[in-house]
Amino acid sequence: MIKTLSSLILFFSILSLQAQQHELTLKASESMATIQPTMYGIFFEDINFAADGGLYAEMVKNRSFEFEDPNMGWQQPQSDRFSLNKESGIANVVKTMENGPNRNYLHVMINKAAGYELINEGFRGMGVQKDARYLISFGADRGEGNIDKLIFQFIGDNDKVLGKTEVPVSDKGWKYYEATLQATATEMKAKLKITFSGNGTIDLDMISVFPEDTWKGRKKGLRKDLVQLLYDLNPGFLRFPGGCIVEGRTLARRYQWKKTVGPIEERDYLINRWNTEFSHRPTPDYFQSFGLGFFEYFQLSEDLGAEPLPILSCGMACQFNTGELVPMDELDPYIQDALDLIEFANGSFISGWGKVRADMGHPEPFNLKYIGVGNEQWGPEYIKRYKAFEAAIKAEYPDMVIVSGSGPFPDGEFFEYGMEELTKLNAEIVDEHYYRPPQWFQEHADRYDHYDRKGPKIFAGEYAAQSVAIASPDNKNNWECAMSEAAFMTGLERNADVVVMTSYAPLMAHAEGWQWTPDLIWFNNLEAYGTANYYVQKLFATNSGTDLLSITGKANKPLIGQDGLYASAVKDAESGDLIIKLVNVKADATTVSIEVKGEKIEKEGTALVLTSDKMDAVNSFETPMQVSPKEMAVSIKKNAVTAELKPHSLTVLKLKIK
Ligand code: AHR
């Protein structure tokens, strides 16, 4: 389709040969490699409030009173639990057991209903939208007295009521109640206020508020706008649940998938390991409710059309923290977790873990093909544990593809040792991580050109350009970083015979609840936006193609930074598109003329252009599309396309085979 040319953005036209500065050749009929459908995926970790407080749409923080301080998130302004003035009433958390899921509930005693309020502050507030409907639910057990009703209100500043509903509570004995609360105004930082009708006692648990309008309308589901942003990325896989969160600071606090499935009120709670990780970004109220658990991750993968890639603890706590090791002769339960997970995902619905999945509403298998052993472990202890996992998994599931890891760095002692050992073991896919300055990404676009074609396939599992330094709170998702990643990604694509999976990290961050920056998507309680880096990922992932093509410049060489230019090219066998990604990292515009060999192409094509005049440009809640692609038309003459590449730009040219 021919789009109107925007005078502001780019000028593409048929240019005369004299104006050309770079002559490129695209070999359109020779497939150099298959681009795996998993090539561009997403890496989800519950960091930065990505799950609780983010994707998982629950609005009540500490709904089940299970945090270390079980009152966290809750206030009783009229009867502070430390004050002596408890005349109107008081609520106390009751512990039923020391460990295990759902050990606490709230015992409320009302003496003078008119004066008592129980308030939940949400995750840095609750985002409510005018006219939207919210599902209130809670468990209650009436005690002595005549409490007959709970009144739920959204409140804003100065206690302004933003919606109200009343829920009769009739029975003794635990019972679950539901009601709808419609918001009368939009407010980013609303709170939930609960008051009571009648005096006496009542026990409460699992006090919950979800928007009714969730992703796919699932009850108590995921935040629709956030999943949409993920969906729009067209991810080939979804890696979960992390990241360091897999490993835990200690083994006891590792992620254990079995504690995250089944009815939500029976799932365990865990302090989030990012709660205390960075003293410069403490997040004392960061816990994992596991409302977003392994079933939901599999379901989300299915919704996104992405291969699920669960990563499991291999019996090593985070080596940046305690590095605690499970002895080799006690590793079996960890290995069993992996085998049981495969059964949970793929097993028959009749019995065992397959039945657990079926009881949760998914009798069909999730068709799990990949499983990750360890997050970013390093050293001989990892290799020992990896071998034990590999032997056990392959013995039962020979077709399961195992993803191993080469540690946290892209080079150095840990990396080299890991790679060498995993290569000796014929590891199938090795996960590499690199958080490096933008310049590093530009300088290493040839990283995989030198990899052994007979060695393991590569999962570039976590990468992001760091504008200041790794883990610096001042890192920005600026255009310089995004453009440098784009330059590097042409190298990933050019090596698609070796690189089979890639993902930016981390994926999401709450504007007030984050610990780590940069992140691909930022959100608050009402809105979300994709960063410049998001649009780079999106341009690659929605134009991934099926076959790698050769595109070369002078002396028949691939473009890997000569004159600031980078390029890769693919064909999409289904659409008949030829897709060329071009990155110009220089401050000057440059012209390329690409001769297409081996196929005849239509006279018109399109260009998707991502650029900014300023290297420090960032998207924001105020200007979410400041750095975002613009579509342009291109014309083609004599089976060649000539295009002017903007300074500091990524251009995706799409041509049609005749
Ligand atoms: O992406 C943030 C963290 O970086 C991940 O949890 C970890 O794997 C890496 O060190």
pTM (predicted TM-score): 0.95
Q: Answer whether residue 12 shows pLDDT above 60.
A: no
E strands present in 517-637: 521-523, 528-530, 547-552, 565-572, 577-584, 590-597, 604-611, 630-637
CB 419 within 8 A of CB 388: no
Read off the pLDDT of residues 458-503 as tens digits, 9 standing for 90 and up: 999 999 999 999 999 999 999 999 999 999 999 999 999 999 999 9
Q: Predicted confidence band at 204 (pLDDT cuts at 50, 70, 90)? A: very high
Q: Answer whether residue 6 shows pLDDT above 70.
A: no
Query: Which atom belonging to ligand 1 lies closest to the Cα atom of 505?
Result: 1
The residues annotated with a catalytic role in the active site are 376
Read off the pLDDT of residues 157-171 as tens digits, 9 standing for 90 and up: 999 999 999 999 987
- Bridge partners of 33? 548
Q: Is 277 in the pocket of ligand 1 (CB under 6 A)?
A: no
Distance 391 CA to ligand 1 centre (A): 27
Mutate to test the pocket of ligand 1, among 312, 313, 376, 415 (most ligand atoms within 8 A of CB): 376
Distance 623 CA to ligand 1 centre (A): 28
For residue 492, give both structure tokens: 């990933």
Q: Answer whether residue 153 shows pLDDT above 50.
A: yes
Q: Answer whether residue 4 shows pLDDT above 50.
A: no
How high is the pLDDT of residue 87? 73
How high is the pLDDT of residue 86? 64
Residue 351 to residue 356: CA distance in whole angstroms: 8
Q: Is 45 in the pocket of ligand 1 (CB under 6 A)?
A: yes
Q: Predicted confidence band at 635 (pLDDT cuts at 50, 70, 90)? A: confident
Q: Domains of the chain, with CATH numbers?
A: 20-35+548-656 (2.60.40.1180), 42-57+215-544 (3.20.20.80), 74-211 (2.60.120.260)
How high is the pLDDT of residue 80? 56
* Torsional sign, CA 12, 16, 17, 21: negative
Query: Which atom belonging to ligand 1 lies closest to the Cα atom of 464?
Result: 1
Q: Answer whether residue 84 shows pLDDT above 70.
A: no
Q: Where is average pLDDT lowest: 133-142, 418-427, 536-545, 630-639?
A: 630-639
Nearest alpha carbon, ligand 1 atom 6: 243
pLDDT (mean) for 512-531: 98
How high is the pLDDT of residue 437? 98
**Among residues of the chain, what percentage have pLDDT more than 70?**
96
For residue 229, give the DSSP letter.
H
Q: Is 408 in the pocket of ligand 1 (CB under 6 A)?
A: yes
Question: How far is residue 128 CA from its own chain's centroid?
Answer: 23
**Among residues of the chain, what percentage have pLDDT more than 90?**
91
Distance 245 CA to ligand 1 centre (A): 8
Nearest alpha carbon, ligand 1 atom 4: 243
Higher pLDDT residue, 81 or 474? 474
Q: How many Cα neighbours within 13 Å face the side chain of 111?
A: 9
